[in-house]
Amino acid sequence: MNLSVSRSFLFRKLGLLLLTVWISATLIFIIPRLAPGDPISAMIARMSQQSGYVENADKIIEGWKERFGLNDPILIQYARYLGNLVRFDLGYSMASFPATVTEMIARSLPWTFGLSLVSIMLTFIVGNFLGAVLAWHKTPRWIKICIPPTMIFTSIPGMLAGLALLYIFSFRMHHWLGLSTPLFPLRGAYGRGLEAGWNWEFMLSVIHHGILPVASIVLVRFGYWALGMRGMMITVEGEDYMNLAQAKGLPPFYILYRYMIRNAILPQITGLVLSFGTMVGGQVLVEIIFSYPGMGTLIYTAIRNQDFPVIQGATFVIIVGTALAVFLIDLIYPLIDPRISYQK
């Protein structure tokens, strides 16, 4: 490998990474401010609804606006915002002051990461396996007939799938089976009274509470992976290396996973990396339905409260994570497929 070319490739990708992060950070600064009103006035309005009257509301609003710099010109706010991001200072929540944005993200991110990781990997494995099975000419006919009807679930939003699963497995199934308790819990990430930690009781409770949220995501997304994999498998089936493998008399299953799947999986891997960022957007309503304490619920609550720092901080973390994942997949592509190199 030419070292200078590799350095050029690395610097170019790093520049693209920084540009992506800067543009994204600018957009998440601008978009929340396009909504009418401001977070301080919204907070006072909520307090008024709860207590009926807030004394000296105007002075409180002005004081909080001054405290969070909302009275400054927009360019000064933008410069201060970028400077804080460079120092990894995400500031304080306006709606939950004095809680910091970092603390709130630190509480929510592990739940979303765990839910997303399990959901994405199951969706990726199941979808690609079914897509490969559909395209393989050795697959029994009855299997090819049974798989396509399952893909009708891809037209259902994850929210509706979650509601359907809740109704069946948390409200009705235990009555049908004559059980006294629901098969799966209605809400939360773990059972009440349990202390978070690396113990079997807590981990089993987390798994039990996570089955329905994961199932509601996998059910509506695996079909996209299956259709994409089927298309790629059909594309590689007529390649010369496939004809050579068959002419050499290699076993059909060896040709399937060594020649067909390995070459068809590359675009799917790129989609897998990108889905880590987009999955959070699809999880927002699922997390709300199941009262799951993840980033989706955090962003939804922040949007309702017009909590600019939380919206900006949570979205920025997701964007940076996605950008870094794409950067890393670009670097490891040659390890997956030797035909890809960093040469010009």
Q: Does residue 200 lie in a domain region?
A: yes
Task: Give pLDDT, residue 259.
Answer: 77
State percent of the chain over pLDDT 70: 81
Q: Does residue 14 lie in a domain region?
A: no
- Mean pLDDT score of the chain: 77
Q: Does residue 337 lie in a domain region?
A: no
Q: Does residue 96 lie in a domain region?
A: no
Please write the tens of the pLDDT for every residue from 50-86: 555 555 556 666 666 666 666 677 888 888 888 888 8
Please write the tens of the pLDDT for every residue from 164-183: 888 888 888 877 877 778 88
Q: Does residue 41 lie in a domain region?
A: no
Task: Give pLDDT, residue 4.
Answer: 46
Question: What percent of the chain is helix, strand and coil (3-state, nearest 5)?
Answer: 75, 0, 25
Task: Give pLDDT, residue 335.
Answer: 65
Number of domains, the chain: 1
Task: Give pLDDT, residue 247.
Answer: 82
- Give, in order, the Cα–Cα distances in Å from 104 to each of 64, 96, 111, 248, 301: 20, 9, 12, 59, 12
Cα separation, 80 vs 24, in Å, equals 16
Task: Give pLDDT, residue 1.
Answer: 46
| CATH code assigned at 248 | 1.10.3720.10
Name the nearest CA neighbour of 115 among 209, 197, 205.
209
- Residue 170 structural domain: 110-294
Name the nearest CA neighbour of 216 among 300, 288, 275.
288
In the predicted model, residues of the chain with pLDDT beneath 70 are 1-6, 35-71, 273-282, 333-344
- Give, in order, the Cα–Cα distances in Å from 214 to each of 122, 162, 201, 293, 327: 9, 9, 20, 14, 27
Q: Does residue 342 lie in a domain region?
A: no
Q: Does residue 138 lie in a domain region?
A: yes
Q: Does residue 175 lie in a domain region?
A: yes
Cα separation, 272 vs 325, in Å, equals 10
Cα separation, 287 vs 85, in Å, equals 27
